[in-house]
């Protein structure tokens, strides 16, 4: 189903009416190309104010996406023949996920810099060890990449980390300089093919002792010592409860690349449209230092 660009105030008002923190009613909404997932459709969107400043960058999807989600990989996620037998065991030698790479709206590409595209991963079996046990729950990853898709796809599969080429793995786990590291986050060498390393917040409730049930968390990604993606990770059980929430991000003290960067992420169910949004918001322009 094609999604037109929405530039009328009424469209922005509809989004603002459902917002945890109302957006400006005159913001323009632009949408990216759609993709099918489950029984519905997912696409990217941006909102831009009258001065051309980015106010939201997100994924929007039909509630039907959560209906009849596929239980098996569809060939869109990396695999590697670990035992060299010439065949692939989907449960041991492939990511148990369904992936959709989604372009950002072309009309807002300049406003969204440095962000380039969204890699959305549906994980019906969650993440296997060495990922924390909480992340074994069925969930969706929303990777907002600040790196071109072609570069991310060079991080080829292999036998290190999470099915990552060993040379790429060694580069993926190079530490991010302290000043660019988000406050409180740590690297656990959870580097994955066609993604990069994953930096986690050990203060997240689902990582406590005892752990709280996993609902959603925020992960930063890195490669070769550079921050490369921003990732809300959200349990489908939490989405099924039709949430309406924004969470402030833990930020670094400096940014390596000039651009606009979010200060919070939001998860909303829009009842009138029967759609969900997962977005980065509260953008602030940062200079490279």
Q: List, for residues 37-74, the tens digit of each pLDDT value.
A: 999 999 999 999 999 999 999 999 999 999 999 998 89
| Structural domain harbouring 32 | 9-286
Task: Name which of 141, 191, 137 is nearest 166 in CA terms.
Answer: 191
Domain presence at residue 4: no
Residue in the structure block whose two tokens are 């402030």: 248
How many separate domains does the chain show?
A: 1
Query: In the chain, what percentage of residues exceed pLDDT 70?
Result: 91
Domain presence at residue 1: no
pTM check: above 0.85: yes
Task: Name which of 171, 169, 194, 183 is nearest 220 in CA terms.
Answer: 183
Element (H, E) at 14: helix 9-17
**Whole-angstrom distance, CA of residue 61 vs CA of residue 58:** 10
Domain presence at residue 242: yes
Q: Is the peptide bond before 210 cis (omega within 30 degrees of 0)?
A: yes
- Mean pLDDT across 80-108: 94
Domain presence at residue 3: no
Domain presence at residue 57: yes
* Predicted local distance difference test score (pLDDT) of residue 266: 98
């Amino acid at each position: 189903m094609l999604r037109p660009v929405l530039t009328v105030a009424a469209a922005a008002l509809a989004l603002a009416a459902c917002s945890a923190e109302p957006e400006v009613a005159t913001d323009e909404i632009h949408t990216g190309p759609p993709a099918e997932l489950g029984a519905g459709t997912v696409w990217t969107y941006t909102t831009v104010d009258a001065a051309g400043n980015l106010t939201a960058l997100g994924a929007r999807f039909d509630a039907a996406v959560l209906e009849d989600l596929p239980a098996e990989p569809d060939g869109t996620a990396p695999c590697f023949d670990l035992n060299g037998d010439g065949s692939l065991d989907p449960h041991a030698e492939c990511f148990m996920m369904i992936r959709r790479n989604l372009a950002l709206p072309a009309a807002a590409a300049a406003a969204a810099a440095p962000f380039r595209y969204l890699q959305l991963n549906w994980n019906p079996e969650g993440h296997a060890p060495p990922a924390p046990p909480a992340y074994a729950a069925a969930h969706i990853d929303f990777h907002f990449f600040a790196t071109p898709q072609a570069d991310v796809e060079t991080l080829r599969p292999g036998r290190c980390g999470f099915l990552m080429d060993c040379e790429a793995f060694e580069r993926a786990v190079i530490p991010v300089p302290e000043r660019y590291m988000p406050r409180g986050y740590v690297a656990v060498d959870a580097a994955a093919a066609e993604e990069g390393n994953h930096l986690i917040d050990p203060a997240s409730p689902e990582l406590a002792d005892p752990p709280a049930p996993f609902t959603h968390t925020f992960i930063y990604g890195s490669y070769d010592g550079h921050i490369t993606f921003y990732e809300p990770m959200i349990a489908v059980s939490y989405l099924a409860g039709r949430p309406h929430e924004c969470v402030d991000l833990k930020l670094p003290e400096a940014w390596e690349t000039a651009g606009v960067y979010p200060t919070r992420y939001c998860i909303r169910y829009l009842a009138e449209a029967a759609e969900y949004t997962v977005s980065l918001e509260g953008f602030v322009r940062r200079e490279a230092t």
